[in-house]
Amino acid sequence: MPRYCFSLQVRPDRTEEYAERHRAVWPDMLAALAATGWRDYSLFLREDGLLIGYVEADDLTAAQAAMAATDVNARWQAEMAPYFTQLEGAPDEGFVLLREVFNLDEQLAQHTRRPDLNEGNRS
């Protein structure tokens, strides 16, 4: 399953309010995310407003397009937009995808398949 990580910047003076809004996401928004292919979706917020998101989807572009076609997403994004800095358009259109540079499970699987890699740095 493809994994995606992204970042956005929440206004530092609104981090608590933003977090509070996410403790009670609308049920129809939750249902729309699940129905459009967003899985294992999490958001992490640093005190200075750095927001990191993680999601699994067969195709993130398709999942985003499917969400964009829902009325609930338009309403949610309109309500969330004021929480973000330097945003053009809806928050779900402005995030920056991050490149994955390490995955423990993938590297462990490589070592299991290739015993010669286990000979590495033994000290």
For residue range 37-75, list pLDDT tens digits in order: 999 999 999 999 999 999 999 999 999 999 999 999 999
d(Cα 1, Cα 50) in Å, to the nearest integer? 26
For residue range 92-119, list pLDDT tens digits in order: 777 889 999 999 999 999 988 766 665 5
74: Cβ contacts below 8 Å, ≥ 6 apart: 68, 90
Domains of the chain and CATH, by start: 3-119 (3.30.70.100)
Instruction: Give the whole-number percent of the chain exceeding pLDDT 70.
Output: 89
Kindly list the catalytic residues. Answer: 22
